[in-house]
Structure 1
């Protein structure tokens, strides 16, 4: 069961390799199909599929934590599901189960700005066909697909207030993440220091000022995303089933 083991030897991930391009192609093709078939997907018969996807995300995430435990990779300082991609997955599951517009408003930005970026530039050590490879892409891709599904099919669109709700949500979580970092000696959200290797954070100033710069960048990108989808909403009629 080397594909489920701890070692990445023989499973090294290479960005923009053949397997990466395959995942990118699947991601883009299904996204286009969701858009093209948005009218057909509005039927309530797809409710069971929504629940099924939510269950699949729960199962694969539990399996991922089991993999870390079995291979002695699970650590308090790095394995608690507190990173934004982890939070996006949790929000995605809650959205699928409840269809609540408030959940969508926060997930929209973390998915479009975070999960989609992770798909194109993965921070991943394990390549095809290792379990971690499939977990990483399934979780991130599904989060974006679900967001696009609720946007194009269900008619959930972000508003200017959605940007404010995102900022409030993140700043409510911030003290808790800081506390966890202190108790575990972790670096969740890179709140204690920048990544050890080169990163975009290097352009945002020294510690701790890059944290405030990063929040400013997030607000700016969220506003751009809102403006793009706001324009789309005005020019394309849709059925809104928001709750």
Structure 2
């Protein structure tokens, strides 16, 4: 999703310039969007048992949601190309939430249980942080605004749906597995960064406009600090969601 979205584990905290077209963090628009997303999550939890009773009839809905996520992301890349913003150095789907979005789409289409842990931990963890501290150059009602919030919300809802509705029970083993997968991806992303002069996942340098990475030590030690932060976030998600699937199934 490139430089025109929040790079999730980079935790950039700029708030925009206050113009009409610039998204401003913690503005009325931002808070309203977060409240709307929170209401959808509460609604999903509230209706979880009714949905579970009809879970075998929800395949078409799962596929439709997956295709909508795919369609809006393809449209986003078309928009980047048409506006001259697409580039190998910042538009490849190599950020954590870009990868999580792809995994979420495949999970919804296939139901492959081996993908659920990554969506629950890396997906929900990264998307929540991105929604809380987004960096957008376009405000409501621009397409980019809807793309950002729709895709990140879609990742969160997918993970929660497979726990609350489909009865998947997250485990600490899933936390460890997700951490291993991310670390297995890092050498690949580092190599791509070198080839295209990119900075995906901030593996080459910190963001120049300042971020919470400034509190995590100098390069390359802040990468280890991010590993610790990710592990803590994943563990908190596991503690909050453990046994929730088991309880629904009973």
Query: Do they fold alike, i.e. is TM over 0.5?
Result: yes
Displacement after TM superposition at 1:232 (Å):
4.6
Deviations along 1:74-98, one digit per CA (max 9) or x if unpaired, are: 0100000000010110011011011
CA–CA distance in 2 between the matches of 1:83 and 1:108? 16
Contact 1:11 1:129 in 2 (8 A): no
28, 40, 45: which one pairs with 2:50? Answer: 40
Q: Distance in 2 between matches of 1:218 and 1:98?
A: 27
C-alpha separation in 2, matches of 1:191 and 1:145: 28
Aligned pair 1:29/2:39, yes or no? yes
Tell me the secondary structure at the aligned position of residue 58 of structure 2: helix
Counterpart Cα distance in 1 of 2:64 and 2:21 = 30
Q: Distance in 2 between matches of 1:61 and 1:179?
A: 25
Residue aligning to 1:168: 180
Q: Secondary structure at the match of 1:12?
A: coil
Q: 1:157 aligns with which of 169, 174, 186?
A: 169
* TM alignment of 1:30-109, pairs within 5 A: 30-42=40-52, 43=54, 44-109=56-121
Match of 1:211 among 223, 229, 238: 223
Tell me the residue number matched to 1:238.
Answer: 248
1:12 to 22, 32, 35: 22
Are residue 195 (structure 1) and residue 207 (structure 2) matched? yes
Q: Which runs of 5+ in 1 are unaligned?
A: 1-8
SS of the residue 1:15 aligns to: coil
Aligned residues: 231
What are the residue-to-residue correspondences of 1:109-188 with 2, within 5 Å?
A: 109-188=121-200
SS of aligned partner of 1:78: coil
- Mapped to 1, the partners of 2:247 and 2:119 lie a distance apart of 22
Q: Once the 2 structures are TM-superposed, how far is the Cα of residue 116 of structure 1 from its aligned partner?
A: 1.1
Q: Aligned with 1:171: secondary structure?
A: helix
For residue 206 of structure 1, give the secondary structure of its aligned residue in structure 2: coil
1:10-43 CA deviation, whole Å, 9 max, x = no partner? 4211122222222112201110110010011121
- Root-mean-square deviation over aligned CA pairs: 1.7
TM-score, scaled to structure 1:
0.90
